[in-house]
């Protein structure tokens, strides 16, 4: 009996520790503004066992946003350029729409770096995988993250969830 219980606990803990693909977490019409709001679940990019960056994609009507969270006490100023290296070697530069100032480790999970996407950015993210992300910070230097093979299609997958009119390239 103990073996069965321990096996069950081990199975549950191993399944919950794996990162899940982004799913559509919000898909509703705001009752006051009548805007269609879609948002994917948060996905974590890891370097080994350490989480380096979280992301999700949000759309409000025709406006799309790529949102990041750095799980460290970092300062990122409005207008900072986040660089995404695409699978074809081209770069996509995203400009942050807001300031992030985390004073200590207790407030790191509350703030998302918001980057507005234009039509060219949306098309690039739907048609290519992201292989590397570079996030400059004011106090911790530059966060460079080379994505693992399993993480490369995740931003593309999330973009496809919030942009049903735009078909992802196979």
CA distance 95 to 92: 10
Q: What is the mean pLDDT of the chain?
A: 85
Q: How far apart are CA 59 and CA 40, in angstroms?
A: 9
Sign of CA dihedral 81, 59, 167, 69: positive
Q: How many CB atoms lie within 10 A of CB 26?
A: 13
Distance CA 45, CA 147 (A): 7
Distance (Å, whole) CA 78 – CA 42: 22
Q: Which tens digits make up the pLDDT trace of 87-100?
A: 999 999 999 999 98
Cβ atoms 143, 137 nearer than 8 A: yes
Q: What is the pLDDT of residues 132-162, one digit of tens each?
A: 999 999 998 999 999 999 999 999 999 999 9
pTM: 0.82
Using alpha carbons only, give the angle 16, 112, 68 rounded to the nearest 5 degrees: 65
CATH classification number, 23-162, choose in 2.60.40, 2.40.128, 1.10.3470, 3.10.400? 2.60.40
pLDDT band at 109; cut points 50, 70, 90:
low
Question: Predicted confidence band at 13 (pLDDT cuts at 50, 70, 90)?
Answer: very low
């Amino acid at each position: 009996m103990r073996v069965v219980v321990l096996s069950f606990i081990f199975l549950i803990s191993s399944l919950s520790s794996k990162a899940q693909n982004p799913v559509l977490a919000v898909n509703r019409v705001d009752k006051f503004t009548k805007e269609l709001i879609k948002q994917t679940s948060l996905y974590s990019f890891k370097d080994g066992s350490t989480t380096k960056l979280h992301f999700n994609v949000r759309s409000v009507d025709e406006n799309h946003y790529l949102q990041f969270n750095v799980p460290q006490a970092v300062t990122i100023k409005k207008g900072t350029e986040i660089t995404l290296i695409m699978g074809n070697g081209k770069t996509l530069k995203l400009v942050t729409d807001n300031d992030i100032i985390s004073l200590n480790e207790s407030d790191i999970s509350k703030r998302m770096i918001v980057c507005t996407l234009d039509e060219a950015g949306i098309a690039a993210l739907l048609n290519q995988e992201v292989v590397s992300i570079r996030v400059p910070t004011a106090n911790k230097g530059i966060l460079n993250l080379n994505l693992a093979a399993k993480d490369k299609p995740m931003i593309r997958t999330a973009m496809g969830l919030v942009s049903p009119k735009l078909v992802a390239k196979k």
